[in-house]
Amino acid sequence: MAYSSTGLATIGASKKGNAPSIYSYATADTAADVNTSGYFNDLSDTLAVGDIIFVRSSTGGTQVVSIMYVLTNASGVVDVTDGTVLANTDTD
């Protein structure tokens, strides 16, 4: 699939200082799709290296939440890290 702007929300925007902007993104795509270089190219004018994206994706219909960040953004091509998956433990 492809990036969809309806899944993106800004959590906190940097004022162009040293702090990264933080976003959340929800999609039915897998995390492997989302972390593919070029997935976020439509946001190349918005995303900066180091910006953080909380991603809620899906694997076989199961939600997966990952934290990714922008690794590179050059010449309109955005690449994010593979991400760290948050554990979904529920012991009650």
Q: What residues contact residue 48 under an 8 Å CB cut-off, 6+ apart?
A: 14, 20, 21, 70, 73
**Residue range 67-76, pLDDT digits in tens:** 999 999 999 9
The domain limits of the chain are 6-85
Q: Which CATH architecture has domain 6-85?
A: Roll (2.30)
State how far the Cα of 71 lies from the Cα of 47, in Å rounded to an integer: 10
**Residue range 4-61, pLDDT digits in tens:** 999 999 999 887 678 999 999 999 999 999 999 999 999 999 999 999 999 999 888 8
Q: What is the pTM of this model?
A: 0.91
